[in-house]
Amino acid sequence: MNQSNFQLVRSDMPIIDMSDIQEAVVIDDPTPAAETPEKRFITANTTAITLQSLKQDCTVPVFTRDNEVCISHPDFIEAAQAAVSHFFSGERVEPAAIRVSHPIKGRRPEAIRKPADQLTPEDKTLYYQRMAFSIEIPTICEDINGNRLNLSLVGVKSYHLDNLNGRLAPQKFSFAVGFMNQVCTNLCIFGDGYRNDVLAVDASEIYRSVLSLLQLYDMSKHLNLMRSLTSQSLTESQFALLLGRMRLYNYMPVQLRRGLPKVEITDNALNAVARAYYTDPNFAVDSDGELDMWNFYNLLTGSITNSYIDLLLSREVNALDLSLGIAAGLRGEDAGYRWFLS
């Protein structure tokens, strides 16, 4: 069901208190839909994991000064899932697809002096430093250039951003509401739908923060910005010049970068963009040597799937900013972005 007129900014949303959190529907199905390599929203060094495995097989780190437990990955996921289910009551909300990286391995005290080859599964402890999840709402979708986009909420957590050697303190979380392109499962996120370094000391604060973001997110604006990319194209020479300028940016002295738009796309990602320009089955250059800016944007987001978990969301936002800015530069409207084409 296409819901292009769905209004996310709801004036009738009540102020949420703890009773609302208790009443919210939590989807506790621990098994996400089966993943294939083509269905991953992030690759890099991540692996898929179920919510049940996070709960049963992983320990939860603590603040070492007072031994206070951190907000766990399952707590974060379930709070976000509850907020999405509450806000989109009546819509189909998928269980979270979860990916993790940077395993932190340990031993239980009684196994400290055991040789590694004699350790049993009961002797070992494990948690993942970094985790990302995506919750899709497939009944809220749109089509751009023949690509189906499903509304999605994406969350990211990395314990390395918290001072776990100190006392209990607010932890940092990031999440974004946007779309997932079903052709390639690339994420489509813009700044107004993104919250970085959200601070929380318990899951109820995460719940309220996610609800607040959903209330403020302007889906129509986001879709219109992305749709505007389909009306402009890059020639082969413009594309080559643009990639060359983006490579230069990564090595420019700081004083020369002043006044230029920010670029978070790395050299490795730009290599992937250059390769996909000719080979991507969905977004490659057309037979006339033209690459529309929607396809260029998706080449960027495709290259970002190889980012580390904690860098994913900011780079996704930057990809749309760059694509919109380059489109403005093509129209001669933005001097900063025209530098990439000159």
| Mean pLDDT score, 296-308 | 94
The DSSP line for 289-313 is SEEEHHHHHHHHHHHHTTS-GGGHH
Residue 7 domain flag: no
Give dist(CA 292, CA 284) in Å, integer. Answer: 10
Using the predicted structure, report yes or no on whether residue 37 has a pLDDT greater than 50: no
Residue 224 domain flag: no
Could you give the residue ranges of the DSSP H alpha helices within 58-123?
A: 73-87
- What is the tens place of the pLDDT at every residue in 90-109? 999 999 999 999 999 988 88
Alpha carbons within 13 angstroms on the beta-carbon side of residue 166 total 8
What pLDDT, on the 0 to 100 scale, is given for residue 25?
33
**In a shared domain, residues 131 and 168:** yes
**In a shared domain, residues 212 and 237:** no
**In a shared domain, residues 81 and 199:** yes
- What is the tens place of the pLDDT at every residue in 183-194? 988 999 999 999
> How does residue 119 score in pLDDT terms, banded at 50, 70 and 90?
confident
| Mean pLDDT score, 264-277 | 95
Q: What average pLDDT is seen over the chain?
A: 88
> How does residue 205 score in pLDDT terms, banded at 50, 70 and 90?
very high
Rounded percentage of the chain residues whose pLDDT exceeds 70 = 89
Using the predicted structure, report yes or no on whether residue 298 has a pLDDT greater than 90: yes
**In a shared domain, residues 142 and 249:** no
- Geometric angle at alpha carbon 218, from 217 and 224, rounded to 5°: 140
Which range, of 32-36, 98-102, 239-243, averages the lowest pLDDT? 32-36
What pLDDT, on the 0 to 100 scale, is given for residue 39?
52
Which range, of 10-14, 244-248, 294-298, averages the lowest pLDDT? 10-14
- Please give the residue range of the domain that contains residue 48: 18-218
Rounded percentage of the chain residues whose pLDDT exceeds 90 = 75
DSSP state letter for 280: -
Give dist(CA 68, CA 144) in Å, integer. Answer: 47
Residue 297 domain flag: yes
Q: How many domains does the chain have?
A: 2
Give dist(CA 152, CA 187) in Å, integer. Answer: 9
* Contact by Cβ (8 Å): 313, 194: yes
**In a shared domain, residues 205 and 264:** no
Q: Phi first, then psi: give them for residue 138, nearest 5 degrees.
A: -70, -15
Residue 148 domain flag: yes
**In a shared domain, residues 188 and 236:** no
**In a shared domain, residues 238 and 180:** no
